Chains A and B, each alone.
Chain A
Amino acid sequence: MLFVVVAAAALVPFVAPYDVASVWGDVSRWTDLPRNAPPDWIDAFSEQKFARTIIVDWNEFKGGASNTTEDFKIIVTRARWKFEYDTFPPDMRVYFRANWSSFKPLITITWERPDGEKITMFSGFPTRQAPLMDTFDVPADTVEGARAGLEGRLREWAAGFNATDVAVVHPHVTLYAETGPDMLSPARASVLHGPYALTVEALAFDANDTLEARFVSYGGVYGLAGTDSLRRDLLVGLLWGAPVALAFGAVAAVLTVMAQVILGALGAYYGGRFDEVIQRATDFVIIIPVLPILILIGFLYRPDLVRILLIIVAFNVVGGTTKVIRSIALQVKEESYIEAARAYGASRARILFRYIIPRTMPYTFALMSLSVPAFIFLEASLSFLGVGDPVLPTWGSIMGDASRGGAIYNGLWWWVALPASGIVFITVAFAFLGYAFDKVLNPRLREE
């Protein structure tokens, strides 16, 4: 189990974007992904085939200028794709990029269906000159007034098929729906399969005017892990969560346990005042409410992951392990081989590091692998509350985003369940490793 985790974590930098912190925070990177889409393997549990994302890129739009006269020319560019899915896409987006010199060209976007019907989606002027682009969104578009226009046209068009009228027209449904009485209703309409086309046309008034277009029909499902409300591919965040959690837990566990072991052994070996100080410091750390203080620090100072790690280590320089190791070291100290070492003149440091601490090593390993889950969950708790690393996606912060985005209550289960499963898997792996150590150390637990 652990090997799987470690191997997967080691692979992540090669399969996922390396500069994940900047990629994750950059919303413009994710515009081609559907919003709040479940993972695409839910197909396997359903009789339907869910709509996938279809992208017809700039260079895939084919066409050119025609009817060129002295006064005007018509530029036509067309995208073709096949739609063979059983669900409607949640939304669609047309990008167009027009360049003009004297007058704005008149842009017309036409929807062509497999049954030969044609619907004008948009007719109007571009607001931005290339290389900036305009977007036309279905159902919620950004070009003013266009939505009402499209809805009105669709209503009129559907009326020709005796469609039952509805209060709100859902263009992304009706455009893909089979004609008939149900074509306006998202609940009852069925998908018309076949080849579709989208024509973007410009009536331009100058010989040098250009027009380019791009089309995205968003899917109802996406990728292995789905997407969140900012259209981000959760797989990227989930993949990066593994090495981050693993490294955080392992480094924190190794540093704190080693510090606690050394301090515990030192205390036991030297005894007296020194021991007393360490003991009282341990009690202090154990008694103070660490989580509230960590939340407070995280909220007020916004430390990044490394600083959080350092703060946590600082709070755990002494702790439960110090006590355990101290009591073991107190026993070991009295044994005769230590006395022998002292007799042949071994230095104190030698006795401590070569004879006493190695004796505690088995316990140390068990305690280390048992404290890895604790630290992973500690980091996840902080991230969940939004006081963890400000930019890096971790499992905790994905769950926190989901929780604040209402994912739990709106049924966006993949957004919370997948990171939670990841974290559970990785920590349970460490826990079993720790208990395996424990069993080896306490043969009584095994019995014959």
Chain B
Amino acid sequence: MTDTDGTVGTVVFGPHLLYRILAWEDHPQPFRKSLKSAARVSRDVALAVYLGKRALFLGITLVVATYMVVVIANQGGLIDRILIAEIRISTAQELGNQQWYQRLDASEKQRVYNETVQQRIHNRGLDQPFLSKSFRQTWEALTLDFGQAQGTYGTGSFKLTTIIMERLPRTVILFTTATALSAVIGVWLGLRMARRALSVFDRSLTVLSITTLVIPSWVLGIFFILMFSVGLRLFPTGGMVSAPAPREPFALLGDQLWHLLLPLITVTFANFGAWSYTTRNLVLQIMAEDFVNAARSKGLPEKIVLRRYVLRAASPPIMTGIILALVASWTGAIITEIVFNWPGLGLLFFEAVTNTDAPTIIALTIIFAYLFVVTVLLLDFAYGLLDPRIRALGR
């Protein structure tokens, strides 16, 4: 019995823990499972039912997670009380500076002051009870109606959509490229390792893979910056452009590429190990399967056995892993961006947290959650198409 949901873990952990999921999961056994049960129901209906159930669940997950973040980010209403106190102080100061206000007598002053404070609290929507406000914020977040941030974060705009849309491509360009690179390099190395299992090449790469697999890219990044940027002065120590930035478009592009290179190398290096180790083990496992032995005993040359039997069985989980990792790479990595001072979503999140900018924090967490959910849904869809057992589940 295989539980395809297990693969969901990939999304959160990235390729880091992919090996675990792939290693536990029964790899597809194309010739064994009978399709009888699946054939009984119409395929498409079953798939639709299955996907519908998943989508419903993911929707609920998203709502609950959003609400949780809204409550945490507002500290259960504490932020509101702080804002109200701020309004009181600033109102008292402003009114105190007005001449007409100074001329009023004490009770009049009190009345005007109270009215102004109430008006301002109302204008900022702080007079609603926290519960209804939190529901409203959750709804706004879910409909991607993010409103205003409390800072501009270098974009010249308070609109959260503008800020996020400026940061998202930077994260994508770094992490998606790095994921693709590390997957390609890792899978290629993994195949070679499996072919030459237990050779010196295999053993040393296995040790290297395991080492890079546990070390997160931000720790690796610190070492790399020390070595290549500070020690050898090959790369800039961080950021995305030099200051001042070059004027010419080509020079600017080159400068940005130069800044991109070290984080790219770091993230790629930190992630390839998961791919190579997983691929190696997967291929080795399949090579010990009966159907591979059968092919060998038929007298087929080893090359054909590898290509037709082993690779064909190994490719679906690897492809799924790659697609998933590519999708999941949208979310980037918060701390790696901080270490490299790379102005993507992760750095934005940290800036927002240090500024206690609740709207931005909520918006970003929702974006992260949405990206996860979309990824999981894509995964379910892919599995629904690929794996007949899922369709059987849909009944």
User: 8 Å CB contacts to B: which residues of A363-395?
Assistant: 367, 370, 373-374, 377, 380-381, 384-385, 387
Total interface residues on A, CB under 8 Å, equals 59
Residue B342 lies at the interface, judged by CB distance under 8 Å to chain A: no
**Which range holds the interface residue count of chain B?**
35 or more
Contact A324 B24 (CB under 8 A): yes
User: 8 Å CB contacts to B: which residues of A405-448?
Assistant: 408-409, 411, 413, 416-417, 420, 423-424, 427-428, 430-432, 435, 438, 442, 444-445, 447
Which of B152-160, B222-230, B242-250 makes up part of the contact surface?
B222-230
Q: Inside 8 A of A214's CB, which chain B residues have their CB?
A: none
Residue B144 lies at the interface, judged by CB distance under 8 Å to chain A: no
Name the distance in Å between B5's Cβ and chain A's nearest Cβ: 6
Q: Inside 8 A of A279's CB, which chain B residues have their CB?
A: 5
Residue B1 lies at the interface, judged by CB distance under 8 Å to chain A: yes
Please name the residue on chain A nearest to B24 by beta carbon.
A324
Interface string of B18-37 (1 = CB under 8 A from A): 00110110000000000000
Contact B69 A290 (CB under 8 A): no
Please name the residue on chain B nearest to A363 by beta carbon.
B24
Residue A229 lies at the interface, judged by CB distance under 8 Å to chain B: no
Name the distance in Å between B390's Cβ and chain A's nearest Cβ: 15
Q: Inside 8 A of B235's CB, which chain A residues have their CB?
A: none
Residue A224 lies at the interface, judged by CB distance under 8 Å to chain B: no
Contact A330 B369 (CB under 8 A): no
Please name the residue on chain B nearest to A441 by beta carbon.
B23
Contact A447 B197 (CB under 8 A): yes
Q: Inside 8 A of B339's CB, which chain A residues have their CB?
A: 403
Contact B21 A409 (CB under 8 A): no
Contact check: which of B3, B281, B350, B373 meets A287 at CB < 8 Å?
A: B373
Interface string of A294-325 (1 = CB under 8 A from B): 01110111000000000000000001100110
Please name the residue on chain B nearest to A438 by beta carbon.
B23
User: 8 Å CB contacts to A: which residues of B334-374?
Assistant: 334-335, 338-339, 349-350, 353-354, 356, 361, 364-365, 368-369, 372-373
Contact A423 B219 (CB under 8 A): yes
Contact A283 B5 (CB under 8 A): yes
Contact B75 A300 (CB under 8 A): yes
Contact B57 A411 (CB under 8 A): no
Bound together, the chains give a CA A39 to CA B82 distance in angstroms of: 46
Residue A280 lies at the interface, judged by CB distance under 8 Å to chain B: yes
Contact check: which of B20, B284, B350 meets A444 at CB < 8 Å?
A: B284
Interface string of A264-295 (1 = CB under 8 A from B): 00000000000000011011101111111101
Contact check: which of B23, B230, B350, B369 meets A288 at CB < 8 Å?
A: B369
Residue B65 lies at the interface, judged by CB distance under 8 Å to chain A: yes
Name the distance in Å between B228's Cβ and chain A's nearest Cβ: 12
Bound together, the chains give a CA A428 to CA B11 distance in angstroms of: 23
Which of B39-47, B208-216, B255-263, B297-305 makes up part of the contact surface?
B208-216
Main secondary structure of the interface of B (DSSP, over half): helix
Residue B106 lies at the interface, judged by CB distance under 8 Å to chain A: no
Bound together, the chains give a CA A279 to CA B356 distance in angstroms of: 35
Bound together, the chains give a CA A319 to CA B218 distance in angstroms of: 24
Main secondary structure of the interface of A (DSSP, over half): helix
Name the distance in Å between A347's Cβ and chain B's nearest Cβ: 26
Q: A283-B61, A289-B331 are in contact. Are A295 and B17 (CB under 8 A)?
A: no
Q: Inside 8 A of B6's CB, which chain A residues have their CB?
A: 320, 323-324, 327
Contact B72 A288 (CB under 8 A): no
Q: Inside 8 A of B354's CB, which chain A residues have their CB?
A: 299
Contact B218 A296 (CB under 8 A): no
Residue B237 lies at the interface, judged by CB distance under 8 Å to chain A: yes
Q: Inside 8 A of A409's CB, which chain B residues have their CB?
A: 230, 237-238
Contact B214 A297 (CB under 8 A): no
Bound together, the chains give a CA A420 to CA B372 distance in angstroms of: 30
Q: Inside 8 A of A428's CB, which chain B residues have their CB?
A: 210-211, 214-215
Most central of A284, A323, A438 by chain B CB within 10 Å: A323
Bound together, the chains give a CA A389 to CA B3 distance in angstroms of: 38
Bound together, the chains give a CA A321 to CA B354 distance in angstroms of: 34
Name the distance in Å between B370's Cβ and chain A's nearest Cβ: 10
Contact check: which of A286, A297, A380, A411 meets B9 at CB < 8 Å?
A: A286
Bound together, the chains give a CA A307 to CA B93 distance in angstroms of: 40
Name the distance in Å between A183's Cβ and chain B's nearest Cβ: 32
Residue B285 lies at the interface, judged by CB distance under 8 Å to chain A: yes
Name the distance in Å between B260's Cβ and chain A's nearest Cβ: 18
Contact B73 A399 (CB under 8 A): no
Q: Inside 8 A of A297's CB, which chain B residues have their CB?
A: 72
Bound together, the chains give a CA A377 to CA B238 distance in angstroms of: 22
Q: Inside 8 A of B5's CB, which chain A residues have their CB?
A: 279, 282-283, 323
Contact A327 B3 (CB under 8 A): yes
Contact B218 A381 (CB under 8 A): yes
Q: A287-B369, A292-B365, A408-B226 are in contact. Are A327 and B57 (CB under 8 A)?
A: no
Contact B3 A413 (CB under 8 A): no
Please name the residue on chain B nearest to A435 by beta carbon.
B210
Given contacts A323-B5, A444-B285, 6 further A-B contacts (CB under 8 A): A284-B61, A286-B12, A292-B349, A292-B361, A296-B72, A417-B223
Identify the A interface with B (CB < 8 A).
Answer: 279-280, 282-284, 286-293, 295-297, 299-301, 319-320, 323-324, 326-327, 330-331, 367, 370, 373-374, 377, 380-381, 384-385, 387, 399, 403, 408-409, 411, 413, 416-417, 420, 423-424, 427-428, 430-432, 435, 438, 442, 444-445, 447
Give the top 6 A-B pairs by smallest Cβ distance, nearest first. Answer: A289-B368, A431-B214, A288-B65, A323-B6, A320-B9, A373-B214
* A-B contacts, 6 listed (Cβ < 8 Å): A289-B65, A292-B365, A296-B365, A387-B353, A403-B222, A430-B214
